[in-house]
Structure 1
Amino acid sequence: MPVSPSMAEDLAAAVGRLYEQAELMLIERVTRALAEGIDSPLWVEVKLAALGNLRAGIEELIGILQADAAGAMRQAVAEAYDRGQQAAIVELGAVATGPALAAAAAVPSAPAVDRLAAALVRETGPVYVRILRVAVDVYRSVIAEASAAPLLGAVTRREAAARALTKFAKKGVTGFVDRSGRAWNMTSYVEMATRSVVGRAAVEAHTDRLAAAGVDLVVVSDAPEECSRCERWEGKILSREGAGGARTVEIEHATEDGRMVKVDVAGSLPEARADGLLHPNCRHNVAIYLPGLTRRREPTPSRASYEQTQKQRYLERQVRAWKREAAGAMDDDRKRAANAKVRAYQGRIRELVAETDLPRKRHREQLGTAR
């Protein structure tokens, strides 16, 4: 059974939903705290005095999220690793016998799972500091903007507060930058980091099993809607490890003792992954390569262009952003306007899936329910 980062995508989404729920609760909590008594002449003084209570409530939310997320991350990594192992066992069951199959079934997983889970927890650690900082900064800036608005004669206090909160709700908790310099909001950043680690866990488990059985070669699938980062590796035969580099090798036939087969090896799996293969959201998979038996598979027809798949993801992000804005609206008019935007972007998604064969993934349009 081939292995791919996509086989663990649902596990990353489950972790992402925890943060989405926390972000939604944070938006609603800040909005409620600021909306209460906003028409009172003492509103500014009362809100500033209540900042400590808000901070304490957010710190409590962060503590719950941190505990839940650490457990969910380890569970996701363990499940992804297990899926990768099972995929290799299925493949090896067709060819490995005796000691090779026994070795493949006895690979210890706990150290690898602990290492990958710990790396994920470390990478997402700065999220919690950022949550508190952003919430307090937004709370203070809304008070400052709303209290200054009547003096400037531009808008009322309520309208100024609503405008500032709308910006916060639409963006969420932001300020996270990955290694390539791309900026993310909290939920997207955590889900991206989790997808990367659980995908790596599945692939690593697969290759660990193959190594234990003495299998060195894998083959990359030909996937639809591929991106330019990994297109050049499609259909290529790779060594499981090593520095890489294209070469032709002679290797024994998978089932015929003494018969040698020439195989064109395009490089190594670590080399291909460093070049972009099996990145988060990658549609490719790798499978065991059996010299003399494995045949090149027919390419899967593309349902759309890569650019159209990215357009779908953009539209899904817009749906979620406007749903967050609706959740943080201070009045019914703003809530109705935000919900109208939600429906408009959902309409664009329907148009896109109608003109392509892309499936509509409604779960990617949903916000978690704050709890």
Structure 2
Amino acid sequence: MAEDLASAVSTLYEQAELALIEKVTTALAEGLDSPLWAQMKLASIGHLRTAIEDIIAALQASAVPAIYEAVAQAYDRGSQAAVAELGALAPTVKAIPAGTQAVDRLAAALVQETGATHMRILRTGMDVYRQVIAEASSAPLLGATTRRDAAARALAKFADRGVTGFVDRTGRPWNLTSYTEMATRSAVGRAAVQAHTDRLAAAGVDLVLVSDAPEECSRCKPWEGTILTRDGAGGADTITVEHATEDGRMVEVRVAGSLPEARAAGLMHPNCRHSIAIYLPGVTRPRPKPPSRATYEQTQQQRYLERQVRAWKRRAAGAVDEDARKRANAKVREYQGRIRTLVAETGLPRKSHREQLATAR
């Protein structure tokens, strides 16, 4: 429901990361063959710091309104979905005021979370700059390689990993763009679900149905097609409730748990394909499961190949000479070929936008 909204925010951070790579590479490549190169680079370190601070200032000025817009749109979509589901059952639900407090709370939390990455951008840029100077200056003295080769190798490592050092609650490390996308997907997903359930709560609806999505992961599979209570402690149970359209008629409903319980177990994680819908006792019938085009593992393989395409494009952006750029572009074409083979064998759709890098600005 809100998957596309995260890209508007993550693209800004990808642009900032690319701008950082290009600034550092350009600053180091200038005068690389001069015998006074190291002294000149250390003397101009203040200029690089100013340039990186300008990148961060531009990022912050663009990211904050983009975050609020994404969360607000996600909340609105969730609300509209609930209104459409309720239909004639609760026409007055359309008059319920928008959840501005919920939007502000979720957006502010995301601004704080992503804002903490900004100082990491400055630190990474300065650390890499000094590291390349040190490696390029010392390598020729040891007879290992030329200064240009040493600088190119160090910059290629930087382009590969980008700005790193972000660890989620499970201990998994991320680079800047992936971390921001994950955090934003989580936030806009929460906004859409909260709006949806807020509207259902206002209409007195307590039961929801989890969709049955193709290529599901192991965390979501136990909850597919199940009926959940909108809130509460959870726990599977069979409850007796009134029929949705026939007064006085009671029906039994098997409840798998509560929505908070399912989400705590992993349902609706970032990149999750599942959604919820209103469940009307005695009326709602399970929808047939969409056919799977491939396994979950194959979808993850596709995402891995897409990341490799982007990684080699970053390396091309950070190349200090034309030969290195050509080698990086050849690797881009190699991984794109592997993606074409995978989608031909599985029937998965190729998502070319996930192979693209934003243009640094």
Does TM-score exceed 0.5, indicating one fold?
yes
Q: Deviations over 1:246-268 (max 9, x none)?
A: 11111111111111111111110
Distance 1:118 1:92, change over 3 A: same
Q: Deviations over 1:24-78 (max 9, x none)?
A: 1110110000011111111111100100010011011101101211111110000
Deviation of residue 112 (structure 1)? 0.5
SS in 1 for 2:2: helix
- AA aligned opposite 1:83: R
Match of 2:24 among 27, 30, 51: 30
Q: Deviations over 1:252-291 (max 9, x none)?
A: 1111111111111111000111011111111111100011
| Counterpart in the other structure of 2:223 | 233
**What are the ranges of 5 or more consecutive residues in structure 2 without an aligned counterpart?**
none
| Counterpart in the other structure of 1:78 | 72
Match of 1:338 among 322, 328, 333: 328
| Counterpart in the other structure of 1:59 | 53
Percent identity over the alignment is 73
Deviation of residue 109 (structure 1)? 1.4
Deviation of residue 243 (structure 1)? 0.3
CA contact (8 A) 1:89 1:105 kept: no
SS in 2 for 1:184: strand
**Is residue 206 from structure 1 mapped to residue 200 from structure 2 by the alignment?**
no
| Counterpart in the other structure of 1:273 | 263
After superposition, residues 340-355 of structure 1 pair within 5 angstroms as 340-355=330-345
**Is residue 299 from structure 1 mapped to residue 289 from structure 2 by the alignment?**
yes
Q: Deviations over 1:137-185 (max 9, x none)?
A: 0000100111112211111111111111011011111111000000000
Deviation of residue 14 (structure 1)? 1.3
Deviation of residue 103 (structure 1)? 4.1
Residues 258-267 or 352-361, more deviating: 258-267
SS in 1 for 2:14: helix
CA contact (8 A) 2:83 2:93 kept: no
**Is residue 115 from structure 1 mapped to residue 105 from structure 2 by the alignment?**
yes
SS in 2 for 1:26: helix
TM-score by length of 1: 0.96
CA contact (8 A) 1:169 1:328 kept: yes
After superposition, residues 305-324 of structure 1 pair within 5 angstroms as 305-324=295-314
After superposition, residues 172-191 of structure 1 pair within 5 angstroms as 172-191=162-181
How far apart are the structure 2 equivalents of 1:186 and 1:105?
A: 41
- AA aligned opposite 1:61: I
| Counterpart in the other structure of 2:62 | 68
**Is residue 245 from structure 1 mapped to residue 249 from structure 2 by the alignment?**
no
How far apart are the structure 2 equivalents of 1:164 and 1:249?
A: 63
How far apart are the structure 2 equivalents of 1:321 and 1:298?
A: 39
SS in 2 for 1:8: coil
**Is residue 255 from structure 1 mapped to residue 253 from structure 2 by the alignment?**
no
Deviation of residue 108 (structure 1)? 3.2
How far apart are the structure 2 equivalents of 1:56 and 1:196?
A: 33
Deviation of residue 223 (structure 1)? 1.0
Deviation of residue 107 (structure 1)? 3.7
Q: Which has the higher contact order (CA 8 A, sep 6+)?
A: 1
